[in-house]
């Protein structure tokens, strides 16, 4: 790292961004834009830096972060003492690994005591459902979000650095079906979806197309199932949308993802996000249709551990544990995200030197079988879609209502006959070892939830549970 890189990335000495900058005054803010662009350029370059150079950077970042927590938080300094951390140590990574791995239940138990207030910066609180049904209340510092998280919106190659200045001066994103309280808010317009304005409705679609074209929106942000639905229709309607689709939220199957990419030519940015940590990594174009993500190693340290917290080698599958170096309001240190995966030892052929994380399906995204075995929902969905034929499907939703009963609601594009439905039921039942009764119901409309989220799979645990507001 040269001095300029160090100053831009570590920024403990010359932080040129005034703390008064917030989401309300961000749009077209020239002070912000001139600070942001060199930093973004560097973040894009880092993805191709050799590991040793990145290690030097993360070492400094980790040390600064732990020092900050040690000085500014009674909770964290007590915790570091309890585990005998030496923050002055030359091997700061070894010190970090003295701390035990924690999970969502730990964060819920800690509650507000582990949070940190500083800068008097505004904070954004959010809520995610806990594994035990207890919601986790989390907090993000708005200043952190602007300085760090916004970089990762533009990190994917499809956002060329020359264009970003122009984009930061106008609204360029259309949010469909979900509002943003976070970093999209200054740059986006919201298009609500409800029972009366579904994407299957031609008038609604025309409104969306007009909005995109009239306002020169270049980015679409929606849950994957909604983006997929819109793209499929746009293709049928013969409308070319000059868009980048930013997809997150519930996973779509590889087949579906590949389908959007191949048939529409729409570039997709697909990030592995978790609320508690922000962006962990990004899928490069080569890996569309797979579950491989390049790790943003300059902002998040990813470990793979077994159930006892022991670190595993590359190519071994285990629990994904995250340490986030740029979130200060709710520190995420050796946090088990609840996802499983492995880090590959082979590098990607795209030229990025950041390692690949192969993500397994979310742990809760499984069909529970009566004998307490489970079946991966992504695999189940892929098989189901293949059986019915992707081109015949407008939308579908799988709901596990009982351990031995699965309901699949489906909106079809054309009649495929009741024999075909019966046959699919039988085939899908045999996929689940004939332990679960499957009932496919053809309906006219599947509504979105209040949040605009069209959930493709409702697990037994989630079924009937009230979501957190």
Q: Which residues are near Zn ion by CB under 5 A?
A: 284, 286, 348, 350, 352
Phi and psi at 11, nearest 5°, equal 45, 30
Cβ proximity to Zn ion, 282 vs 339, nearer residue: 282
- Between CA 120 and CA 131 the distance in angstroms is 32
Cβ proximity to Zn ion, 286 vs 390, nearer residue: 286
Cβ proximity to Zn ion, 117 vs 350, nearer residue: 350
- Between CA 210 and CA 358 the distance in angstroms is 38
Nearest distance, CB of residue 286 and Zn ion, angstroms: 5
Tokens 């969502």 sit at which residue? 104
Cβ proximity to Zn ion, 352 vs 381, nearer residue: 352
> And the tokens for 417?
């006959």
* DSSP track, 397-431: EEEEEETTEEEEEEEESS---HHHHHHHHHHHHHH
Give percent helix, percent strand, percent coil of the chain, each to the nearest 5. 35, 25, 40
Nearest distance, CB of residue 225 and Zn ion, angstroms: 25
Nearest distance, CB of residue 77 and Zn ion, angstroms: 40
Cβ proximity to Zn ion, 123 vs 354, nearer residue: 354
Q: What is the DSSP letter of 449?
A: P
Nearest distance, CB of residue 352 and Zn ion, angstroms: 5
Cβ proximity to Zn ion, 88 vs 349, nearer residue: 349
Nearest distance, CB of residue 294 and Zn ion, angstroms: 6
Tokens 């742990």 sit at which residue? 363
Closest CA to 260 of 207, 206, 220: 220
Strands 393-402 and 457-458: parallel
Nearest distance, CB of residue 283 and Zn ion, angstroms: 8
Cβ proximity to Zn ion, 286 vs 411, nearer residue: 286
> And the tokens for 339?
């996802």
Strand partners, 140: 124
Cβ proximity to Zn ion, 107 vs 292, nearer residue: 292
Close Cβ partners of 295 (under 8 Å, ≥ 6 residues apart): 280, 281, 302, 343, 354, 355, 356, 357
Nearest distance, CB of residue 159 and Zn ion, angstroms: 16
Nearest distance, CB of residue 296 and Zn ion, angstroms: 13
Cβ proximity to Zn ion, 50 vs 417, nearer residue: 50
- Between CA 248 and CA 284 the distance in angstroms is 14
Nearest distance, CB of residue 157 and Zn ion, angstroms: 10
Give 2-10 contacts, CB < 8 A, sequence gap 24+.
5/42, 6/60, 8/38, 8/39, 8/42, 9/39, 9/42, 9/57, 9/61, 9/298, 10/57, 10/60, 10/61, 10/64
Q: What is the DSSP letter of 287?
A: G
């Amino acid at each position: 790292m040269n001095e300029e890189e160090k100053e831009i990335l570590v920024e403990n000495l010359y932080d040129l961004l005034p703390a008064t900058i917030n989401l309300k005054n961000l749009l077209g803010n020239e002070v912000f834009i001139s600070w942001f662009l060199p930093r973004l350029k560097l973040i894009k370059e880092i993805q191709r830096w050799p590991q040793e150079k990145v290690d030097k950077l993360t070492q400094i970042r980790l040390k600064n972060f732990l020092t900050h927590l040690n000085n500014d938080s009674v909770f964290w300094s007590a915790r570091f003492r309890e585990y005998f951390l030496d923050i002055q140590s030359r091997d700061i990574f070894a010190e970090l690994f003295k701390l035990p791995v924690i999970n969502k239940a730990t964060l819920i138990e800690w509650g507000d005591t582990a949070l940190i207030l500083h800068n008097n910066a505004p904070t954004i609180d959010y809520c995610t459902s806990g594994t035990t049904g207890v919601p986790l209340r989390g907090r993000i510092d708005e200043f952190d979000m602007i300085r760090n998280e916004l970089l990762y919106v533009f990190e994917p190659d499809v956002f060329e650095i020359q264009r970003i200045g122009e984009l930061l001066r106008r609204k360029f994103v259309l949010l469909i079906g979900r509002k943003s309280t976070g970093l999209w808010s200054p740059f986006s317009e919201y298009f609500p979806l409800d029972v009366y304005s579904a994407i299957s409705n031609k008038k609604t679609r025309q409104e969306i197309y007009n909005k995109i074209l009239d306002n020169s929106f270049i980015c679409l942000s929606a849950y994957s199932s909604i983006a997929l639905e819109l793209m499929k229709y746009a293709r049928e309607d013969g409308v070319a949308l000059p868009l980048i689709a930013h997809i997150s939220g519930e996973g779509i199957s590889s087949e579906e993802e590949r389908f959007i990419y191949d048939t529409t030519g729409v570039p997709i940015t697909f990030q592995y996000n978790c609320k508690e940590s922000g962006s962990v990594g990004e899928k490069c174009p080569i890996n569309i249709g797979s579950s491989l993500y390049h790790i943003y190693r300059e902002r998040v340290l990813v470990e793979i551990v077994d159930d006892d917290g022991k670190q595993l080698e590359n190519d071994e599958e285990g629990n994904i544990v995250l340490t986030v170096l740029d979130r200060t309001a709710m520190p995420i240190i050796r946090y088990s995200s609840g996802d499983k995966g492995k880090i590959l030892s082979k590098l990607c052929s795209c030229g990025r030197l950041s390692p690949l994380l192969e993500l397994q399906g979310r742990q809760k995204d499984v069909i529970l079988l009566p004998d307490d075995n489970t079946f991966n929902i992504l695999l189940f969905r892929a098989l189901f879609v293949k059986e019915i034929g992707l081109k015949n499907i407008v939308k579908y939703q799988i709901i596990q209502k009982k351990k031995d009963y699965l309901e699949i609601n489906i909106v079809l594009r054309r009649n495929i006959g009741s024999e075909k439905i019966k046959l699919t039921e039988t085939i899908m039942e045999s996929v689940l070892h004939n332990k679960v009764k499957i009932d496919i119901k053809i309906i006219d409309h599947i509504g979105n939830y209040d949040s605009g989220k069209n959930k493709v799979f409702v697990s037994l645990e989630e079924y009937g549970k009230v979501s957190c507001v």
